[in-house]
């Protein structure tokens, strides 16, 4: 089969899956609109501020919009939080005290969290140095489910925070839909209401019609240069959760006693609002790109997760290339079809915070934004590439054709 008839076949197969996605997009767009209307968002909320940022109405209203959308009591939404890892780290340092234990219940967390926790490296100021211990529970049933009895067994008197990572990250495990977290969250809170359940929600926002906070998670954390920024937010991250959790975290964000009352932004808040408005649509475009890629490589006999027609909980598509040359060609083909830096040729390199060499394609408007089409892969067997993002499906499809051409 030549490339264009392969893609045409894959696209036909994807039709019913795409139709279901558009329904979710409708529902989530309605949820976003409802939150904007409830907060009466107007042009005055876009205005930049300087200095301390007391009474910054754009910042405060944006935080209330996020809290509503997440069914949460409170939220922190700040351009000043450098990235998703910084927000997750902020959350952990806000909630944990020396002598407490952090329990990850979705196996080893995302690579960049290892240096925060002190699992790898010896970065000054990590949780281990702070006297916070760490334990983890692997996922059950072939890495598809949270091991609820195992989690309850692993809870110790000093367990303070339970970490759930929604997305597969760079691991060959299932991603989790918010409703799949309900049972463990309820069981933990029944046993120990004082434990904070935090969810690394990166890549998960707007895939489903609800978020983990709707099922009782104490706090959800994510990056604004992924799903929730809709491809328009230029930087930043959010945390949404209970008043009890956010109060502790905001003390670390600025200073105890100051919390969310300070923090200015000297550019317009418009891209944050507009990005959030676009997010359900953008996420759908990214999902369609992922699903088309999955079906295409399935037709070529390769192993994918999730399968093109399986339920999804994040925007990541894993494809097992089985061969380093194919993997490199795929990533280079994606880069060559990027709007920005198309002439750059990605090569595997040692990236700070990651254990293996990594190769990535990212030709993005917002530096490193992975809601824009990007592909990354740690250089380790079985040479799985992780594809995510795509602001438009048309671009996703063109890039997939480019990757197939490069591989041929």
Toward ligand PLP, which CB reaches closer, 110 or 238?
Answer: 110
Contacts of 47 (CB under 8 A, 6+ apart): 57, 58, 268, 269
Toward ligand PLP, which CB reaches closer, 56 or 200?
Answer: 200
**Following DSSP, what letter does each residue of 146-161 receive, concatenated?**
--HHHHHHH--TTEEE
- For residue 292, give the nearest of 407, 171, 170, 390 by alpha carbon: 390
DSSP class of 13: H
Measured CA distances, 351 to 151, 225, 318, 378, 379 (Å): 32, 19, 20, 10, 12
Minimum CB–partner distance for residue 353 and ligand PLP (Å): 8
Toward ligand PLP, which CB reaches closer, 200 or 211?
Answer: 200
Which two structure tokens, joined as six digits, stand for 280?
């359900």
| Total length of the chain | 408
C-alpha span between 290 and 229 (Å, rounded): 19
Toward ligand PLP, which CB reaches closer, 63 or 376?
Answer: 376
Toward ligand PLP, which CB reaches closer, 203 or 265?
Answer: 203
Minimum CB–partner distance for residue 272 and ligand PLP (Å): 16
Minimum CB–partner distance for residue 229 and ligand PLP (Å): 11
Minimum CB–partner distance for residue 316 and ligand PLP (Å): 8
Name the residue with the smallest CB distance to ligand PLP: 84
Q: Return the exposure string of 106-128: e unless at least 16 CB atoms fall within 10 Å of the residue's CB, then b.
A: bebbbbbbbbbbbbeeeeeebbe
CA torsion sign for 244, 247, 253, 257 is negative
Toward ligand PLP, which CB reaches closer, 164 or 185?
Answer: 164
Task: Enumerate binding residues for ligand PLP (CB under 6 A).
Answer: 83-85, 110, 112, 165, 167, 169, 200, 202-203, 223
Toward ligand PLP, which CB reaches closer, 111 or 406?
Answer: 111
Minimum CB–partner distance for residue 203 and ligand PLP (Å): 5
- For residue 91, give the nearest of 228, 212, 198 by alpha carbon: 198
Toward ligand PLP, which CB reaches closer, 200 or 372?
Answer: 200
Question: 315 with 388: CB under 8 angstroms?
Answer: yes
Minimum CB–partner distance for residue 252 and ligand PLP (Å): 17
Minimum CB–partner distance for residue 108 and ligand PLP (Å): 12
- For residue 171, give the nearest of 382, 390, 350 by alpha carbon: 382
3-state secondary structure of 19: helix
Toward ligand PLP, which CB reaches closer, 85 or 284?
Answer: 85
Minimum CB–partner distance for residue 77 and ligand PLP (Å): 15
Minimum CB–partner distance for residue 119 and ligand PLP (Å): 14
3-state secondary structure of 294: helix
């Amino acid at each position: 089969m030549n490339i264009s008839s392969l893609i045409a076949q894959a696209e036909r197969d994807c039709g019913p899956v795409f139709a279901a996605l558009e329904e979710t997009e409708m529902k989530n767009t309605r949820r976003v609109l409802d939150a904007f209307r409830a907060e009466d968002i107007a042009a005055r909320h876009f205005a930049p501020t300087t200095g301390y940022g007391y009474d910054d109405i754009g910042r405060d209203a944006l935080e209330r919009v996020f809290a509503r959308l997440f069914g949460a009591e409170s939220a922190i939404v700040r351009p000043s939080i450098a990235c998703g890892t910084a927000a997750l780290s902020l959350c952990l340092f806000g909630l944990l005290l020396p002598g407490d234990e952090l329990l990850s219940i979705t196996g080893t967390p995302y690579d960049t969290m290892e240096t925060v926790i002190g699992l790898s490296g010896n970065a000054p100021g990590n949780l281990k140095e702070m006297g916070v211990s760490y334990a983890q529970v692997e996922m059950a049933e072939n890495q598809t489910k949270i091991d609820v009895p195992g989690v309850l067994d692993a809870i110790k008197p000093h367990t303070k925070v339970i970490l759930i990572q929604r997305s597969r990250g760079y691991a060959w495990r299932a991603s989790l839909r918010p409703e799949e977290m309900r049972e463990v969250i309820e069981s933990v809170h029944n046993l120990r209401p004082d434990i904070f359940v935090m969810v690394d929600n990166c890549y998960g926002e707007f895939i489903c019609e609800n978020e983990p906070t709707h099922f009782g998670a104490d706090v959800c954390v994510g990056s604004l240069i992924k799903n929730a920024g809709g491809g328009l937010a230029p930087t930043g991250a959010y945390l949404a959760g209970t008043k009890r959790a956010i109060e502790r975290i905001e003390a670390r964000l600025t200073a105890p006693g100051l919390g969310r009352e300070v923090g200015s932004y000297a550019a317009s808040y418009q891209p944050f609002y507009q990005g959030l408005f676009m997010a359900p649509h953008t996420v759908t475009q990214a999902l369609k790109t992922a699903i088309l890629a999955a079906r295409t490589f399935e037709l070529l006999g390769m192993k994918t997760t999730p399968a093109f027609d399986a339920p999804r909980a994040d925007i990541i598509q894993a494809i097992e290339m089985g061969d380093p040359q194919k993997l490199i060609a795929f990533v280079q083909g994606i880069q060559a079809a990027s709007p920005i830096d198309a002439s750059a040729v990605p090569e595997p390199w040692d990236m700070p915070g990651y254990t293996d060499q990594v190769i990535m394609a990212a030709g993005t408007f917002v530096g490193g934004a992975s809601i824009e089409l990007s592909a990354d892969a740690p250089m380790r067997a079985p040479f799985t590439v992780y594809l995510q993002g795509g602001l438009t499906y048309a671009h996703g499809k063109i890039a997939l054709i480019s990757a197939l051409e490069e591989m041929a």
